[in-house]
Structure 1
């Protein structure tokens, strides 16, 4: 199951500007850190979600999605596929509008559950790759 370009465009341009990035820490070697920078340059507020709850790129971090005391629009998931389904379920419970599974993160059942809950969903794609394609 692959997200169509229309869904990708809708999430990036119309769904909202607050992105919770699950797996984001201050480890600059990790893909999540680089993608967070791209999202910020694109005008998104990037909220780190990581067990360490560190402040990343000037934004307070939280240990879990449900610990974030405000609404998030998109949950961007940088955890392995075995953990991603639980994060998608947390995103639904949090009231997010969309879930984005990064490159290499695939869970067909979580995709189906998230779509059934009414959220937009992208799987196995990277916003840092998709943003330049928006033109």
Structure 2
């Protein structure tokens, strides 16, 4: 069963995050991980792609890294596009590589309670079974432009 996250919590994460490492990103532009990376980069986030099968190639102006430990500089959020069973070593590597990590974000369909507990024990916020692109669009008004009722009230009388 998915956890509930408040709009305030999701909005806080998305406004405070600047650098996102996306683990499992694809270079194929029709794959969800690729268009999520592109969208977030277009919104002003630094998106660092991580995929050992594409290491050294370039995606959206950033060199693809083989692992999280190859990233120099700060990472605020690690966004995981991998199967649930692959999550624990990714979380362990993220916690080791980034002492100031704020958020572990697992994409839609990805949940791992034990890995989440490990990250939370280190003070890291964990979001599971959600997409930062969709949440950004929902919380910052882009879905409303398409006629979707997002449940977010943007003005008051």
TM-score, structure 1 normalization: 0.92
Does the CA-based 8 Å contact 2:41-2:60 persist in structure 1? Answer: no
User: What is residue 45 of structure 2 aligned with on the other side?
Assistant: 44
- Listed as ranges, the gaps of 5+ residues in structure 2 are 141-157
Q: RMSD over aligned Cα, in angstroms?
A: 1.3
Take 1:23 and 1:8, find their aligned partners in 2: how far apart are those partners?
22
CA drift of 1:76 comes to: 0.5
Aligned length, in residue pairs: 134
Larger RCO: Structure 1 or Structure 2 (Cα < 8 Å, ≥ 6 residues apart)?
A: 1
User: What is residue 64 of structure 2 aligned with on the other side?
Assistant: 61
Structure 2 residue aligned with 1:86, among 86, 89, 94?
89
- Listed as ranges, the gaps of 5+ residues in structure 1 are none
TM-score, structure 2 normalization: 0.80
| Structure index of larger Rg | 2
Does the CA-based 8 Å contact 1:71-1:94 persist in structure 2? Answer: no
Post-superposition, which runs of at least 4 consecutive aligned residues in structure 1 deviate over 2 A? Answer: 1-7
